[in-house]
Amino acid sequence: MTEEQSDTPNISLAWERYITNNVLDEQLRLVIAQSWYRCREAEVDPYLEKYRLVLNELELNELMEKKRNLIETSKIFYGKIYDFVVGLGYFLLLTDEMGYVLDIIGDDDVIAAAADINLVKGSCQAENQVGTNGIGTALAINAPIQVSGAEHYLKTLHSWTCSAAPIYDHKNKLIGALQLSGPCSKSSQHTLGIVIGAVEAIRNQLIILERNRELILLNNQLNNIFLSVTDGIIVTDNVGLIIKINPVTETIFSINDQAMEDQSIMDCFEKSTIIQEMLTSGSVYQGHELIAKTQNGSIRCLSSGKVIRDKFGNVTGSVVFLKPINKVKNIVNHYSGSHATFHFKDIIGQDQQLLKAIELARIAAKNESNVLLQGDSGTGKEVFAHAIHNLSCRQDGPFLAINCGAIPRELIGSELFGYEGGAFTGAKAGGRPGKFELATGGTLLLDEIGEMPLEHQVSLLRVLQDKNITRIGGNKTMMVDVRIICASNKNLQLEVARGNFRNDLFFRLNVINISLPPLRERREDIPLLVNVFLKDICKKMGFALPSIDPEVLPYLKQYDWPGNIRELQNVIERMIDYANGENIGLKHLPEEIIAPDYHTSLVERIPFSDLHTQKDEEIKIKELVSSRERQQLVNMLIFHKSNISKVAKEMGVSRNTVYKKLKRLNISIK
């Protein structure tokens, strides 16, 4: 205690002068003088005998619940302090940051005396309520302080010495205060030091508790992630012994975590040198293909790994992530457009043959049998395949289509079954999955199956029988779970008879045979199709919906549509383009629809005198037909600005066919 503090008569006289005459003694400590000034400004009554601001029971209970963590933590420390002063007339106060008493402990007679002035739980010790005091002033100046004797603003406290210090949490936020009070005759400078030490210990304990809480929360979060993440996770020690695996890894290996614990991770994979290198060098690897040795055979996985280090940088373990490649492919297929877009509602028509085909297709969607779709080009075979997939139990899996007639003979095998790195000249170093791998869990449409070479038909038959494949250049078999739908515009039975298609493969594919009628056999559906295509195309092109001259539909219905629905769709689009916002009339119809029978129409236009012989007639007709065909092709080239792809699409033929026509009709493109 300082000399000024020990000189009680002088402090008492200074208090009297200030209370009576508002004159501050120069000998007063500055912190006390400033506090007295604040008390006068707050109109605190220096002769107040009882504290007036006390929380009711409900308010006190709510406050103590809110401050439960502070109370329980502080008790550990201020309880030990009281053990040293028990019986000496001391008492301890714990308050919140506003000065409300949360707890009070002391000798019974001291607690009773404090109660006489309403110094109880819930009473407010704030400086602006009860004047200069240990807790109130410590909270006001945000610093520890000892207030002794007449330094208290209330005369009723002049016999006490109060040592108090504010309490801060882990974020350095003020949350309360602690005070040790005793008779002035027993006060000591060391009392404040004890309180400061206790407050620091309370803060450190609060920090530890908060860190523990954060660690528990983080551990729970990591555990939830570990259990719910969609990748397989394997945690090992520094030599590769498995410590823990998550549920996804259990599913991949078809084994529980207890069975895999203490097993070397290197024994779980074929050619696992990448993991050994990671543990040895501490390097990271990403996107590496590993073959997992599971209870159900080999499974290819995409893997990434990273070592775990201690604070000294030593490798203490590793974390390996796994995702079966078929899962990766499903995600890629979904976002890259390898999924079915059409449904049965998209198949338009009321023709009985068509309705029968739809009924058969719906039946096929409910089972896993192979489906063979047969019909002319443009009849909608792929739309049917999409619809079957989207109604099946595989609708959430990928849908892939491969045109067997559009792939060079020597590449069909690698397209279907994939290849390993270095399998042949030009093969990618990491290999490449085939369509069967990519379609696992979904549906694979083999379009134009009749064009598949005989040597690949054998491989396809084996896949259909064994349900597994081997990449070209590889020696590992992989199980595949693929639903096969085939489509052909050829009569496969006739191709079998000609020796172009294997009989056993035909019977394997021909489980559910669905024949799609050509458009010429369902002419009554043409108006329905025209209306739908008209709306869809105008919406896509941003055109207003035009009306159609009533004379147009009879021409559309009498035309044979060799390109079927695809040709009709192209014609509608061309008429919309030609009309350019006008209503569609006969003048917008292609010539081949207005005069579909060239031979008949041309013969009628040839003067009889020019037809000397049958041979002359045939020559004349051929010349006129070629002339007409040439003019139409030239018109299309002009309209499409020599874009062969667009011309081919409009004609419903391949680009090669267009080039052949250009050569035959002696048309050059600049």
Q: Measure Cα distances from 468 to 32, 438, 459 in Å.
A: 91, 13, 11
Whether residue 235 is predicted with pLDDT greater than 70 in this model: the reply is yes
Whether residue 41 is predicted with pLDDT greater than 90 in this model: the reply is yes
pLDDT tens digits, one per residue of 642-662: 888 888 877 777 888 888 888
**What pLDDT is recorded for position 83?**
76
Cα 231 from Cα 26, distance rounded (Å): 76
**What pLDDT is recorded for position 56?**
93
**What pLDDT is recorded for position 615?**
46
Nearest to 368 by CA among 505, 513, 478, 512: 512
Q: How confident is the model at residue 157 (pLDDT cuts 50, 70, 90)?
A: very high
Task: Kindly state the average pLDDT of the residues 8-33.
Answer: 88
Amino acid at 511: V
**What pLDDT is recorded for position 621?**
46
pLDDT tens digits, one per residue of 350-360: 999 999 999 99
**What pLDDT is recorded for position 19?**
92
pLDDT tens digits, one per residue of 71-126: 988 888 887 777 777 778 888 899 999 999 999 988 888 888 888 899 999 999 99
Q: Measure Cα distances from 352 to 369, 370, 375, 379, 452 in Å.
A: 24, 24, 16, 15, 32
Whether residue 2 is predicted with pLDDT greater than 60 in this model: the reply is no
| Helix then strand then coil, % of the chain, to nearest 5 | 50, 20, 30
Domain ranges of the chain: 3-211, 230-327, 337-517, 529-664
Other beta carbons within 10 angstroms of residue 391's beta carbon come to 17
Whether residue 127 is predicted with pLDDT greater than 80 in this model: the reply is yes
Provide the CATH number for the domain formed by 230-327 in this structure: 3.30.450.20
Whether residue 429 is predicted with pLDDT greater than 80 in this model: the reply is no
Provide the CATH number for the domain formed by 337-517 in this structure: 3.40.50.300
pLDDT tens digits, one per residue of 538-570: 888 888 888 899 889 999 999 999 999 999 999
Whether residue 3 is predicted with pLDDT greater than 50 in this model: the reply is no
Whether residue 141 is predicted with pLDDT greater than 90 in this model: the reply is yes
Name the fold adopted by 3-211. Beta-Lactamase (3.30.450)
Instruction: Give percent above pLDDT 90 in the chain.
Output: 41
**What pLDDT is recorded for position 657?**
83
Query: What pTM, to 2 d.p., does this model score?
Result: 0.51
Whether residue 337 is predicted with pLDDT greater than 60 in this model: the reply is no
pLDDT tens digits, one per residue of 175-222: 999 999 888 877 677 888 888 988 999 899 998 888 888 888 888 888
Whether residue 24 is predicted with pLDDT greater than 90 in this model: the reply is no
Whether residue 619 is predicted with pLDDT greater than 70 in this model: the reply is no
Pairing mode of beta strands 483-488, 371-374: parallel
pLDDT tens digits, one per residue of 383-425: 999 999 999 998 888 899 999 888 888 888 888 888 887 777 7
Name the fold adopted by 529-664. Helicase, Ruva Protein; domain 3 (1.10.8)
Say whether 337-517 and 230-327 share the same fold.
no
